[in-house]
Amino acid sequence: MATITESFHSESAQAFTFPLQTKAFVVQEPKADFALTTITLDEVRPDEVLVEMKYSGICHTDIVLQQGLLPMVDFPAIFGHEGAGVVRAIGSSVKNKSLQVGDSVLLSFTVCGDCKQCTSGHPAYCHSHPQINHGAVRRDGSTPGKLLDGRGVRSQYFGHSSFAKMSVVSEKCVVRCPYPESMGIYAPLGCGFQTGAGTILNVLKPQAQQSVVICGIGGVGLAAVMAAKYLGVQQVIAIDLVDDRLKLAEELGATHIINSKQDADVVKTIKDLTHGGANFAVDCTGVVPVIEMLIECIGPRGVAATVGVPPPGKKIQIDPLTFLLENKTYVGVIEGDSNPEVFIPELMELHRSGNFPIERLCKVYPIEKLETALSDLKSGSVIKPVIQF
Ligand SMILES: [Zn+2]
Ligand SMILES: [Zn+2]
- Helix, strand and coil in the chain, % to nearest 5: 35, 25, 40
Euclidean distance between CA atoms 230 and 198, whole angstroms:
12
Euclidean distance between CA atoms 216 and 356, whole angstroms:
18
Euclidean distance between CA atoms 241 and 160, whole angstroms:
33
Q: Distance, CA 340 to ligand 1 centroid (Å)?
A: 14
Ligand nearest to the CA of 62: 2
Euclidean distance between CA atoms 224 and 206, whole angstroms:
11
Q: Distance, CA 342 to ligand 1 centroid (Å)?
A: 16
What mean pLDDT comes out for the span 370-388?
A: 95
Euclidean distance between CA atoms 382 and 172, whole angstroms:
30
Q: Distance, CA 126 to ligand 1 centroid (Å)?
A: 4
pLDDT tens, position by position, 108-127: 999 999 999 999 999 999 99
**Is pLDDT at 17 greater than 90 in this prediction?**
no
**Is pLDDT at 12 greater than 90 in this prediction?**
no
pLDDT tens, position by position, 256-291: 999 999 999 999 999 999 999 999 999 999 999 999
Q: Distance, CA 49 to ligand 1 centroid (Å)?
A: 19
Q: Distance, CA 162 to ligand 1 centroid (Å)?
A: 22
Q: Assign a CATH topology to domain 13-190+357-388.
A: Quinone Oxidoreductase; Chain A, domain 1 (3.90.180)
Q: Distance, CA 122 to ligand 1 centroid (Å)?
A: 9
Average pLDDT, whole number, for the chain?
94
Ligand nearest to the CA of 125: 1
What mean pLDDT comes out for the span 214-219?
A: 97
CA angle 154, 158, 164 (to 5 degrees): 60
Q: Distance, CA 39 to ligand 2 centroid (Å)?
A: 24
Ligand nearest to the CA of 132: 1
Ligand nearest to the CA of 61: 2
Residues of each domain in the chain carrying CATH 3.40.50.720: 193-334
SS (H, E, C) 95-110: CCCCCCCCCEEEECCC
Top-level CATH class of 193-334? alpha beta
At how many degrees (to 10) do helices 243-252 and 219-230 cross? 30
Euclidean distance between CA atoms 188 and 171, whole angstroms:
18
Q: Distance, CA 12 to ligand 2 centroid (Å)?
A: 31
Instruction: Report the candidate in 219, 115, 255, 218 with the shortest Cα–Cα distance to residue 172.
Output: 115
- pLDDT value of residue 14: 62
Ligand nearest to the CA of 118: 1
pLDDT tens, position by position, 322-349: 999 999 999 999 999 999 999 999 999 9
- pLDDT value of residue 11: 41
- pLDDT value of residue 4: 41
* Separation in Å, CA 324 to CA 282, 300, 320: 21, 10, 6
List helix spans (H) across 39-95. 60-66
Phi, psi of 230 (to 5 degrees): -55, -35
Q: Distance, CA 84 to ligand 1 centroid (Å)?
A: 23
pLDDT tens, position by position, 51-89: 999 999 999 999 999 999 888 889 999 999 999 999 999
Euclidean distance between CA atoms 290 and 311, whole angstroms:
13
Q: Distance, CA 158 to ligand 2 centroid (Å)?
A: 9
Q: Distance, CA 23 to ligand 2 centroid (Å)?
A: 22
Ligand nearest to the CA of 194: 2
- pLDDT value of residue 309: 83
Ligand nearest to the CA of 196: 2
Q: Distance, CA 130 to ligand 2 centroid (Å)?
A: 14
pLDDT tens, position by position, 142-152: 999 999 999 99
Contact 52, 8 (CB under 8 A): yes
Q: Distance, CA 41 to ligand 2 centroid (Å)?
A: 24
Q: Distance, CA 167 to ligand 2 centroid (Å)?
A: 18
Contact 131, 122 (CB under 8 A): no
Euclidean distance between CA atoms 216 and 208, whole angstroms:
22
Ligand nearest to the CA of 307: 2
Collapse the DSSP code of 354 into the 3-class scheme (helix H, G, I; strand E, B; otherwise coil) and give the result. Answer: coil
Q: How confident is the model at residue 178 (pLDDT cuts 50, 70, 90)?
A: very high
Euclidean distance between CA atoms 141 and 90, whole angstroms:
21
**Is pLDDT at 8 greater than 70 in this prediction?**
no
Euclidean distance between CA atoms 94 and 172, whole angstroms:
9
Q: Are strands 278-283 and 298-306 parallel, antiparallel or unpaired?
A: parallel
Q: Distance, CA 324 to ligand 1 centroid (Å)?
A: 33
Q: Distance, CA 198 to ligand 2 centroid (Å)?
A: 13
Residues of each domain in the chain carrying CATH 3.90.180.10: 13-190+357-388
Q: Distance, CA 149 to ligand 1 centroid (Å)?
A: 34
Q: Are strands 329-332 and 298-306 parallel, antiparallel or unpaired?
A: parallel
Plot region of 227 (φ>0 → left; ψ -120 to 50 → alpha; else → beta): alpha
Q: Distance, CA 148 to ligand 2 centroid (Å)?
A: 29
Beta strands in the chain (DSSP E): 4-5, 20-27, 35-41, 48-57, 77-78, 83-90, 104-107, 145-147, 152-153, 166-170, 174-176, 211-215, 235-240, 256-259, 278-283, 298-306, 329-332, 362-366, 384-388
Q: Distance, CA 113 to ligand 1 centroid (Å)?
A: 5
Q: Distance, CA 105 to ligand 1 centroid (Å)?
A: 22
